[in-house]
Amino acid sequence: MKVKVKFFAILRERAGAAEATKEIREGSTVAELWELLQRDYPRLAPVRMRLLYAVNQDYVNADYALKEGDEVVFVPPVSGG
């Protein structure tokens, strides 16, 4: 199945891309997707900050099981205001 990934801020710069479509195994979790993305974008690997995860514009846990067409965002520490 395919999911859409959007990168923002420091992750966008490290990935060198704002968006990606990724083919993953049915039932993959958000954490598993992150592992795969680190192989596609090696510069994401050294990211040591704590990430939050959002699927379809809502925060989810790392073990959230993805579905076809989900929009996934890895949220680096926010700093609005």
Partner 1 sequence: MFRVTRNAIDLQELVAFVTDPEAGAIVTFIGTTRNNNEGRKVIALDYEAYPEMAEKELKRLGEEAGKRWRIQRMAIVHRIGPVQITEPSVIIAVSAAHRADAFEACRFAIEEIKKSVPIWKKEVFEGGEVWIGTQSGQPLNRY
Q: What are phi and psi of 6, to 5 degrees?
A: -115, 135
What is the closest distance, in whole angstroms, from the C-beta atom of residue 22 to partner 1 in the complex?
18
Q: What are phi and psi of 19, to 5 degrees?
A: -145, 155
Q: Which residues contact 46 (CB under 8 A, 6 or more apart)?
A: none
Stretch that binds partner 1, among 20-28, 29-37, 62-70, 72-80 (CB under 8 A): 72-80
Of residues 40, 37, 26, 32, the one with CA closest to residue 69: 26
Q: Which of 1, 4, 6, 17 binds partner 1 (CB under 8 A)?
A: 6
Site for partner 1 in 9-38 (CB under 8 A): 9-10, 12
Residues at the contact surface with partner 1, assessed by CB under 8 A: 6, 8-10, 12, 49-52, 54, 57-59, 73, 75-81
